[in-house]
């Protein structure tokens, strides 16, 4: 067959596959997963399309006399993965088994209600929930299962059991802890073939960058860019306010250093104060008062502080959100919000508030718990701050005596307090966006005129970017240390991580790629802005048991680096459309090509590493969840852009820039659209 028809069949079938997956993700929300699977994912025509795309792509590759070994290996690896996926689809078995303590069971129920009899029986001997130290939040779920051959299996999150070809995963449990639900899967050949494809893909992607005749190396040789920089001062905003009674900063700080059980963890009271201030006013500090002063204002002078209106948006009026804001102020005023007092109970150490129902205690201890906050309020209203400090010190000693075994280390508490102070980058994002916009405009003008970047200006900007990088590093490091897990989950962390990667990239590469400076400042600024919005209350929380895998960090980091690079390509595309002159547009296209190839490879690596993690954690390496489906869609959409030698349109700079701008919509849908619209088990706010 001639190359023309092969090219049309290969890329045409891939385009139809993308459209089909897009349609499936949108119909799944209103019609349900079964409808989407029957309409698209398990439809024989859809499966056949993958086969057509793979075979025609290989035929086109080998008929084009491509000599590059790693390019061939790259395409062959996808054929191997698709073969493994087909074997899994045709021959694998999966379902759920419910084990009641002491009752043997050998029946697996599939999602379609079919029964599969196992060649062995399983009996639950023990099920327990392990919890974080000093918290009721679960850190792991563990089932001890006896098999009919006398052996035992311990199954927990990210720790699977294996027996006679079957793999067992902790999936669910009943509240009485007498029943454990396990996910069961048997896939003798499919996983192995697919993993072989993943390994070949990794080798091919690493080797690709060392090929002399690749499109990426050609773009690297051609790259030339010019940018200019003007540094503008940023004006800080000052706000005035009416005076109201408030605790001195020193005393409020002492109160903020008390321990409190909040959000299923032990943390400094400053953390709760900051969260409450953010919820009520949209700011971590208000009118020059610290969060601890705001909180103690509510506690000590509730009437006087009611004149400060809460931040209620029009759409929130009359909603549960508005009620929540008034509720937290009322709970703080009464003291009911603060679980400050640890007590030994039958379930371990539990924390109580002054208004809670207490276990049986000595009269003096009960009176201390009941009366401490009221006494603090009386002394504060009298202005007796020395006595307030003394009572706070007594509460702190009581906490340290009763909860010594579960309290976080002093270093971790200090890290959390420091994080609470610097974690919202309001001035930083305004500063970064201002610089980025000015540079972006001037870069387009000067690039059109063929001017080069002033060396002194670029070096000065590099100093600024390193300072911004140091700030972001401090925020992420403090959050990591204070929370006890890598900052790779949740919208706030992801946005700050993208900003961190952007500042690192422009700090290291500005000499070779001067355009990274305006693009990097813009991307860092906008992602920090989104962090302050999506993370208006970026709480420190314990990690869910399923997320306690070392693969999580690598998976998220790969995805975020790829999203960052694709964001830079999108901004570069906008610049490419605004500049005048074909040479400038071509230079910017070459820059995009240099960036987009590693971005696509990292996206591919992250996506398939996520599949490995999924298989380890819950027994299925691909479930067609909207998040993973859109990651695949994004990967395929950008795959078109790195096939400039096969698709003539991608050699045109204007078309290329337009495509990279439009293609970025798939990134936005993957991260934001799935979360806000499509849902699924990967969606998170």
DSSP characters for 567-623?
HHHHHHHHHHHHS-SHHHHHHHHHHHHHHHHHHHHHHHHHHHHHHHHHHHHHS-S--
Q: Which has the closest alpha carbon to 270: 244, 295, 237, 304?
A: 295
Nearest to 663 by CA among 528, 529, 572, 527: 572
CA–CA separation, 668 and 679 (whole Å): 14
In the beta sheet, which residues pair with residue 167?
162, 185
| CA max distance for the chain | 93
As a whole number of angstroms, the distance between CA 262 and CA 340 comes to 9
Of 559, 536, 293, nearest to 423 by C-alpha is 536
Decide: residue 208, CB within 10 A, 0-12 exposed, 13-18 middle, 19+ buried: buried
**Host H or E run for residue 167:** strand 166-173
DSSP letter, residue 308: S
What pLDDT is recorded for position 251?
A: 92
Domain borders along the chain are 95-186, 249-418, 423-535, 551-685
Alpha carbon distance 568, 527 (integer Å): 12
Task: Collect the ranges in the chain with pLDDT lower than 70.
Answer: 1, 213-215, 217-243, 307-309, 312-321, 444-445, 448-449, 533-550, 678-685
pLDDT for res 224: 37
Given this model, what pLDDT does residue 120 score?
94
Pairing of β 265-268 and β 259-262: antiparallel
Q: What are the tokens at 422?
A: 């610097």
Burial 554-582 (b: 16+ CB within 10 A, else e): bbbbbbbbbbbbbbbbbbbbbbbebbeee
Of 620, 603, 601, 623, residue with least CA distance to 612: 620
Global pTM?
0.65
Cβ neighbours of residue 608 closer than 8 Å, sequence gap 6 or more: 81, 198, 201
Confidence at residue 137, expressed as pLDDT on a 0 to 100 scale? 76
Whole-number pLDDT of residue 495: 84
Q: How many CB atoms lie within 10 A of CB 378?
A: 15
Cα separation, 633 vs 625, in Å, equals 12
Q: Would you state the pLDDT for residue 469? A: 95
Query: What is the C-alpha separation between 520 and 516, in angstroms, rounded?
Result: 5
């Amino acid at each position: 067959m001639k190359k023309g028809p092969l090219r049309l069949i290969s890329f045409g079938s891939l385009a139809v596959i993308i459209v089909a997956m897009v349609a499936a993700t949108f119909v799944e929300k209103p019609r349900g997963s079964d409808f989407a699977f029957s309409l698209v994912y398990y439809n024989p025509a859809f499966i056949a399309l993958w086969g057509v795309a793979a075979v025609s792509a290989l035929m086109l590759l080998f008929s084009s006399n491509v000599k590059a070994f790693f390019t061939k290996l790259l395409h062959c690896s996808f054929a191997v993965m698709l073969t493994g996926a087909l074997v899994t689809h045709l021959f694998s078995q999966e379902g759920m088994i419910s084990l009641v303590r002491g009752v043997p069971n050998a029946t697996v129920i599939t999602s379609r209600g079919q029964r599969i009899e196992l060649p062995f029986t399983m009996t639950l001997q023990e099920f327990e929930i392990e919890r974080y130290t000093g918290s009721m939040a679960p850190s792991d779920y563990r089932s001890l299962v006896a098999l009919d051959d006398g052996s035992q299996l311990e199954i927990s999150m990210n720790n699977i059991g294996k027996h006679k070809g079957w793999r067992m995963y902790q999936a669910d449990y009943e509240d009485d802890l007498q029943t454990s639900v396990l996910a069961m899967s048997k896939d003798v050949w499919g996983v192995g073939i697919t993993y072989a494809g993943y390994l070949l893909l990794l080798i091919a992607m690493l080797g690709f960058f060392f090929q002399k005749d690749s499109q990426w190396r050609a773009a690297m040789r051609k790259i030339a860019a010019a940018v200019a920089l003007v540094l503008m001062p940023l004006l800080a905003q000052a706000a005035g306010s009416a005076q109201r009674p408030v605790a001195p900063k020193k005393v409020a700080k002492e109160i903020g250093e008390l321990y409190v059980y909040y959000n299923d963890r032990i943390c400094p009271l400053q953390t709760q104060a900051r969260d409450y201030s953010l919820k009520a006013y949209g700011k971590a500090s208000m009118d020059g008062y610290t969060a601890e002063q705001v909180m103690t204002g509510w506690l000590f002078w509730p009437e006087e502080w009611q004149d400060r209106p809460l931040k209620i948006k029009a759409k929130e009026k009359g909603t549960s959100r508005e009620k929540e804001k008034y509720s937290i102020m009322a709970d703080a005023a009464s003291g009911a919000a603060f679980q400050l007092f640890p007590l030994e109970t039958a379930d371990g150490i539990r924390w109580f508030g002054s208004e809670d129902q207490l276990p049986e205690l000595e009269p003096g201890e009960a009176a201390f718990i009941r009366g401490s906050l009221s006494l603090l309020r009386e002394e504060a209203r009298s202005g007796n701050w020395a006595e307030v400090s003394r009572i706070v010190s007594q509460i702190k000693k009581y906490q340290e005596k009763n909860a010594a075994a579960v309290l976080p280390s002093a270093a971790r508490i200090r890290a959390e307090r420091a994080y609470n102070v610097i974690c919202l980058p309001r001035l930083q994002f305004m500063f970064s966006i201002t610089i980025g916009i000015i540079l972006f405009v001037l870069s387009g003008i000067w690039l059109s005129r063929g001017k080069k970047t002033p060396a002194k200006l670029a070096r000065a900007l590099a100093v600024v970017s390193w300072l911004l990088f140091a700030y972001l590093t401090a925020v992420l490091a403090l959050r990591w240390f204070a929370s006890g897990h890598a900052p790779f989950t949740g919208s706030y962390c992801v946005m700050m991580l993208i900003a961190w990667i952007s500042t690192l990239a422009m700090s290291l590469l500005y000499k070779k790629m001067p355009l990274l400076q305006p693009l990097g400042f813009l991307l860092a600024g906008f992602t920090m802005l989104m962090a302050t919005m999506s993370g208006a209350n970026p709480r420190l929380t314990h990690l869910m048991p399923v997320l306690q895998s070392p693969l999580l960090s690598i998976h998220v980091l790969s995805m975020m680096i790829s999203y960052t690079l694709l964001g830079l390509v999108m901004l570069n595309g906008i610049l490419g459309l605004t500049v005048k002159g074909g040479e400038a547009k071509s230079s910017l296209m070459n820059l995009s090509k240099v960036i987009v190839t590693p971005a696509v490879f990292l996206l591919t690596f992250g996506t398939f590493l996520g599949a490995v993690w999924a298989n380890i954690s819950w027994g299925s390496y691909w479930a067609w969840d909207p998040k993973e489906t859109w990651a695949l869609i994004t990967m395929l959409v950008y795959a078109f852009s790195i096939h400039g030698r096969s698709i003539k349109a991608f050699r045109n700079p204007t078309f290329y820039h337009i495509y990279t701008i439009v293609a970025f919509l798939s990134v936005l849908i993957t991260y934001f659209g799935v979360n806000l619209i499509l849902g699924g088990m990967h969606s998170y706010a």
